[in-house]
Each structure stands twice: as structure tokens, then as C-alpha cells.
Structure 1
Amino acid sequence: MTRPGIHFLDARGPQGMRLYAIGDVHGRLDLLSAMHRRIESEIEHKPTADWRVIHLGDYADRGPDSRGVIDFLIEARKRDPRHLMLAGNHDIGFLDFLDTPDPDGLFMRFGGVQTAQSYGVSLTADASWFGKAESVRQGHAALVEAVPQSHIDFLQSLAFSVTFGDFFFCHAGIRPGIPLEQQSPQDLIWIREIFHDHPGLYEKIVVHGHTPVPEAEVMANRVNVDTLAWHSGKLTALAIDGADKRILTVTGEGEGS
């Protein structure tokens, strides 16, 4: 039986629980810290019976301080388990590289060099294929030594989705026509066009990141809060309080400034 869809304007969070969903961080500890300060200030000055802060994945790669971001999130979750962290494709790619150093994999091609630098490890790619493979192999050994077990445990602990009220949270999106509880982890961290282009309503509003947009994208069936923080200097979140939905942004220095 087909489940009825819900429109963003009609969607509500759980009664008495305020939700915050933060987009892709990609090593921008400065922006993540600023967003947490803003959220903490809101909760202090406008108290709520309960709350959750949901991080939508992609903590590593591209930006300058992946190690610092992961440390920050580990501490936040230890301090209060209402801080929830979901897996992004770059977080799984980091784990994959630590397991198998693929010179042409996601990690090496899209920002893993910066991640390694945050752990004090230099990853370089020589011009020749053999030189590149050997260089990556040596850098991989150093990175495996440098990454704390607590960071590996954290990355391995990440859930692929979570739901509250009329909202479903994941990194990339869902496959239309598949019930939410049957979505594949691969789609939840990688899907794009077939999800973005789907015109119909889903059984819940899908809150996601993964595909950068200049401003938060609020659609009838989904909300995209990935505003390319590592490059733009702008980190975005969706705040949900009952029927009230708001976009929050914090800004810092961008690569172009």
C-alpha cells in the first residue's frame, strides 16, 4: 500500500522537541564551532523540553581541519548523546582508504590530502603511476599510524539515517518508490539526480546535504542544507520546532576571500 506523502509546509517536528540539522562540514571546525555556539545560545535563551542536533555527514576531506572536526564531534556526543552524527560518503571513503590505499579512490581524488595534513601526514602523488602508487602506499602507512582508534570507532559508529516527526534525515537522499526503512546505505550517502528530480511527495520530508547549493534549497519534498562550507565559508542548518521551520547560517572566511 502506498503511504501518503507530506508537503514541507505541513510537516511538523515531534511535540516538545526542537531539531537542528547541520549540513556538510568538510573540515571547517571554525564554522562547526560557530554553529554549535549559535544553537547553544538559542537553547539557552529560548528553552525547549528536548532537542536533537543532527549532523548530516561529510566531516572529513577538502577543508583544513578534519581531525579537529572529528575530535569536536566525539566530545559533543560524549557530553550529550542528543548530538547525533550520520555518515557521509566522504566519511566512509576515509575508512575505505585506511583499509585499502587506492591511489584513484574518492579519498585521494577529493580532498583526502587535506585530511591527511590535519593528522600531520603528507600524501603526494608522483607523475608516474608506479610512483603515485608507491607514494600513496607510504603515506597510507603513516596515516594509519596517525589516526587515533577513537576516530576510527567514531566513523564506524555513524548511522545512515534517522527520523523524527515528519522528517527523515540522511546525507544524500533516498531512492523514490522505496520505503524509507528499506533504503540502501549506498543510496543514502551517494544518490543525486533521481532523488532531486522526483516531483512527488515522500512519506516524510527528506533533509539532506551532499550536493552543494549556493543557498539552502527548500522544496515541497526535501531540504538541502549543503552550502559548500569548506569553500564558501558558509555553514547552513535547518531548525525545526513543531510546525516552525527556519534556516540558520554561520559564516567565516571562504577560499575566494
Structure 2
Amino acid sequence: MTPEDRFPGPEHPDSGPRHQPDLDVLPYGTYYEPEPATGYPGTPYEAETYSGYGGARYLEQHWPADGQDHTVHAPENAPLFSPQDHPGSHQDHGGSHQDHPGYEPTLSDQQSPAHQDHGRDDPPTIELGPPLPDPSAPSYPYPAPGPGEPPGPLYVVGDVHGYLEELRAELRHQGLIDAEGHWSAGRSRIWFLGDFTDRGPDGIGVIDLVMQLAAEAAAAGGYCRALMGNHELLFLGAARYGDEPVQSTAGTASFLAAWRLNGGQQHDLDRLEGHHISWLSRLPAIALEDGHLLLHSDTTAYLEYGESIPDVNDAVHSLLADEGVDEWWDCFRRFTKRFAFRGDAGPTAVHELLDTYGGTRIVHGHSPIPYLTGAVHADDGQPPHIPGPYVYADDLAVAMDGGVTMEGRLLVARLPVN
């Protein structure tokens, strides 16, 4: 059970985990901590601060032992909604949070036996940039390499959840941005795996930074892209539908109430503008890059939206543009499912996705590594130890959510991890 994105309701019969998650049984897997990089032309790696993809060396050097330390102007044809469309969007809701169908418990709640209910669902996700025209081939959305010149190195970024300063620090440690926060990685390629907002202090600041880096990377011949996470679906739903009721088997719920209960920050909603909405709404849900199938959520629910990457992305974009609140909510719930790749059935679920969409390995965010490994149950009161990305499911899956919201790590990794 995780403190992430839980929504009561029945399981969809053909999606999500093929078994009930049991966090007391640890999956077989290993942490990845690579050797220091030798650098890439045009990319300033700094040996004294290189973090090994957020590895143990960085933890030892920088993590104390005690663990402390509006007007909306939407472009033409963009979805036309804003927080101001819903007068009730700023009202507080009474009653106990624990009784609300969209309540997402805290870490302390999760460790209580009263919350060991594995029959609950979780929330959805978003991407940066248009879907790739041909997901089976290398993509060069900006100037293609010259004859014999390979594409730049490929990086992925796990769930950020509004932790802007931590994101800047990790990108800087990897040599991807300079001291002023500008792109310094040449032809490098970066994919963010979704969940930019909620829980942390500056979700809109995170979105602004990623949009800035996308423009700067393009000018340098690289690119910066992103996937749609379940929290992007939740955030956009809160802005568009506010307190409008949705069909929930656990009682009346709304996007706005669920967003608040899942860490939504009012100052992010207040600062959401038309260009943010337009950009977020166009993010892909799934991508294939250098043989890596990139997803936000560790679920097989993507199979319910199409048999190819373009089909899935088109289906999600069409739903966001044309469908109603209940269809949006259902999409959000499906992409909130998790743990499909854990346990004995995990490799089978991974192969189901790889056989359909291509690639040789899945890279995902969404489920915090401390919950995949059971590290969250440590009794010494220390933050979970996250050396780096977590490789599991017979080496077929790489988890990238380092649990930054629970004193873990915000992970940035160069692919492949071996």
C-alpha cells in the first residue's frame, strides 16, 4: 500500500496488476549505481559533484545522517478551461479526510494496520511535446545528426511533484544545466516521466523550467520532452471540472476534492495559465526511445487505449479534448493503477506491453521505489535509502520514482542502466 493516489472502486478486469500487491513480500531487483560518466562533447560534467544518477556517493556526501536538514489566454483549438470556470473551486470541504472517496493517506497512515487495504485504485499522468511520428525508429525532432554522428545521450527524470530546487540540483549534478539553470547538455535528450505538480512547493515553477529547457535544448540540437502523469490528469481535471460530481463507487467525488486530498497546492492552481494548459494537454502518455518503452505508471492499463503508441496517445488526447468528466475521471483512475510489474507475474505483464508497443525494457515512474522494495518500513526513523534507479522484473523494468515526497530522492538517470 502506498501513500500515493488512492481512489476506492472496483478493479477494471483487464488492467492493472494481475495480483494483489503485498508490500511485505519484496520483489527481486537491484539498485543501479553506475560508474562516473566520462562526459559528452558539449556537456560539462563536474567530477567533484557528479552524483552517479543519484547514487550512494551523493547520499553520503550530501545527506545528513539524521535525515533533516488571471486571466487565461488559451491558444486557438486548445482546451478552454481554467480554475475560474468553477466558482466553487476555492471552497474548503468539511468532514474527515479519511472518509472522503479521494483521500490519499499519509506515510504514517499507511503504516497503520487500519490502512492495509489492497483493493484500492490510484490516479493518472501527462507528457511533453507531440507524439513521435514513428515510435519504432530514432526520432530527431530537431536538427538530425550529421553522417555517422550518433544522437546525444538519453536521460530520464523521475517524478518531481513540485520540488523545483531538488530538480535543479540534480540536473546540475548531471551536467544538464548550468549554474543559472539553462540548458548546457548540447545534443543530449531528456524525457521527464510525468507528475510535475502536487505535494511539493512549486509545481508551476517545475512546468515553467521544463518548458524553458525544451526550447533551449531545441536550439542546441537536443531535446527535452515529457510524459503525461496521473497527476497532470488530476491537475487539469481540477482546473476544468472543479467541484462537478464524478461517478464514483465510493460516493460523490470531484476532481477538485481529489486533487486537494492528493497534495494539490492552491497556489499552483492560481498560477495555472493558458499556455500551461495547452502544453500539458498535448503531452503523450507513452513513448519509445532507444529501445526503452517510457511510461509514467507501472500498469498495463495503456493496453485499453490502443494497440500502438500513436493510438494510445491519440486516444488520450481525444478524451481530454472532447469527452466528459466521467470519461476523464475513468482515464485518471486507470493510469493511477500500479505494481503490475512486481512479483512472479511482473515479467509477464512487462512482456505484454513490450510485445504490443515495442522495446526491450520499460522505464517508469509513479510507484515510489521505497514501496517497491519495502524500504519504507524501516524502524530507525531514517529516510529511505535510495541509491539510484531500481531494476526489477527479471531486469525488464526500471523504476525511477525515488520518493522525493517522502524524503527519498529525485532521480535523474542516463540510459541504459546496466
TM-score (norm 1): 0.67
Residue 190 of structure 1 aligns to a residue in which SS? coil
Cα RMSD of the aligned pairs, angstroms, is 3.2
Name the CA distance, whole Å, in 2 between partners of 1:31 and 1:49: 22
Determine which of 365, 382, 398 is the counterpart of 1:209: 365
Unaligned ranges ≥5, structure 1: 1-7, 120-142, 247-257
2:399 corresponds to:
224
Offset of residue 62 of structure 1: 0.3
Name the CA distance, whole Å, in 2 between partners of 1:40 and 1:173: 28
Per-residue CA shift, 1:26-76, capped at 9, x if unaligned? Answer: 000011111221233599xxx998421110000010001112111111111
Residue 165 of structure 2 aligns to a residue in which SS? helix
Offset of residue 169 of structure 1: 0.6
- Alignment identity in percent? 27
Residue 367 of structure 2 aligns to a residue in which SS? coil
Alignment of 1:148-227 (within 5 A): 148-175=273-300, 178=303, 181=309, 186=331, 189-197=335-343, 198-200=346-348, 202=351, 203=354, 204-214=360-370, 215=386, 216-219=389-392, 220-227=395-402
Question: Is 1:117 the counterpart of 2:290 in the alignment?
Answer: no
Offset of residue 177 of structure 1: 11
More strand by share: 1
Question: Is 1:89 the counterpart of 2:230 in the alignment?
Answer: yes
Name the CA distance, whole Å, in 2 between partners of 1:110 and 1:221: 30
Offset of residue 111 of structure 1: 0.8
More helix by share: 1
Name the CA distance, whole Å, in 1 between partners of 2:302 and 2:279: 32
2:241 corresponds to:
100
2:194 corresponds to:
57
Number of aligned residue pairs: give it. Answer: 202
Alignment of 1:238-257 (within 5 A): 238-240=413-415, 245=417
Determine which structure has more spread, i.e. the larger CA radius of gyration.
2
Name the CA distance, whole Å, in 1 between partners of 2:334 and 2:192: 14
Determine which of 21, 24, 42 is the counterpart of 2:156: 21
Offset of residue 174 of structure 1: 4.3
Residue 80 of structure 1 aligns to a residue in which SS? helix
**CA 1:218–1:70 in 2, change beyond 3 Å: closer, same or farther?**
same
Offset of residue 175 of structure 1: 1.6
Contact in 1 for aligned 2:162/2:196 (Cα 8 Å): yes
Unaligned ranges ≥5, structure 2: 1-29, 33-137, 139-149, 179-183, 244-252, 317-330, 355-359, 371-385
Name the CA distance, whole Å, in 2 between partners of 1:226 and 1:174: 14
Name the CA distance, whole Å, in 2 between partners of 1:180 and 1:208: 18
Name the CA distance, whole Å, in 2 between partners of 1:237 and 1:49: 17
Name the CA distance, whole Å, in 2 between partners of 1:104 and 1:34: 36
1:234 corresponds to:
409
Q: Which moved more, 1:148-157 or 1:89-98?
A: 148-157
Name the CA distance, whole Å, in 1 between partners of 2:413 and 2:287: 15
- Give the letter for the 2:242 counterpart: P
Offset of residue 180 of structure 1: 5.6
Residue 175 of structure 2 aligns to a residue in which SS? helix
Contact in 1 for aligned 2:341/2:397 (Cα 8 Å): no
**CA 1:107–1:53 in 2, change beyond 3 Å: closer, same or farther?**
same
